[in-house]
Amino acid sequence: MSLGAVILTGGSSRRMGADKAAELWFGVRAVDRVAEVARACGARHVVTAGDIDYGYETAPDPAPHSGPVGGLISGAQALRIRACDRGLFLAVDAPTLFPSDVAGLLAHPSPGAAFEGLPLPMVVDLSAWPAEAQSDWPLRRLVEKMGLVQIVCPKDRWSHVRGANTPRERAALLVDQHDAHRDRIGRATPPSEKA
């Protein structure tokens, strides 16, 4: 199967108070860190779903600020155009995600999987995408309609898989992920890093 990835970047970032996609995490923009994870997972194409160009193929959200499903719909369409038959859907506010966090989702058979109580990230065969999906659907409804298996996210991974929506959550994750990041790239970055 040909895997593509969609990174949701279309939110207003109101709770964060700054563009979440452009926030720096260990010296790298959040959108670039998430794209790196997607590529490490085998994604041949990476699409951002939203109206801002971050240097990737962009799939405009048909109904901005109406919820994430509109961005998922436009992203899935972009992946189909690129002849992808499976999609890895990621949130830009989870730049602390590691490929190992989504390995279980990627390994799951058709139609795909998501974490219980945490619908993003999700992996789905694009053939399972419901034609009747609407931008105003809650994510939970989309997951159910596609028949995705919901697996339990390990407790020790929950916070960095969920990501950060506020400056306080971001600060906590920077501290929590400091050692993991240092081990990963071989150098330390101050946990108080600012964008």
Three-class HEC string of the chain: CCEEEEEECCCCCCCCCCCCCCCEECCEEHHHHHHHHHHHCCCCEEEEECCCCCCCEEECCCCCCCCHHHHHHHHHHHHHHCCCCEEEEEECCCCCCCHHHHHHHHHCCCCEEEECCEEEEEEEEHHHCCCCCCCCCCHHHHHHHHCCEEECCCHHHHHHHHCCCCHHHHHHHHHHHHHHHHHHHCCCCCCCCCC
What confidence score (pLDDT) does residue 159 get?
82
Report the b/e string of 137-153 with b at 16+ CB within 10 A. Answer: bebeebbeebebebeeb
What confidence score (pLDDT) does residue 2 get?
94
What confidence score (pLDDT) does residue 155 get?
87
Query: Whole-model pTM?
Result: 0.85
Give the pair of three-digit tokens for residue 139: 């994510």
Per-residue pLDDT of the chain (195 residues; tens, 9 = 90+): 799 999 999 765 555 556 788 888 888 999 999 999 999 999 999 999 988 999 999 998 777 666 789 999 999 999 999 999 999 999 999 998 999 999 999 999 999 999 998 889 999 999 999 999 998 899 999 999 999 999 999 888 888 788 777 767 777 667 766 655 554 444 333 334 444
Contact status, residue 90 vs residue 4, Cβ threshold 8 Å: no
What confidence score (pLDDT) does residue 90 get?
96
What confidence score (pLDDT) does residue 135 get?
87
Contact status, residue 61 vs residue 74, Cβ threshold 8 Å: yes
- Tell me the C-alpha to C-alpha distance, in Å, between residue 73 and each of 108, 134, 180: 21, 8, 33
For the beta carbon of residue 80, count every other beta carbon within 10 angstroms. Answer: 15
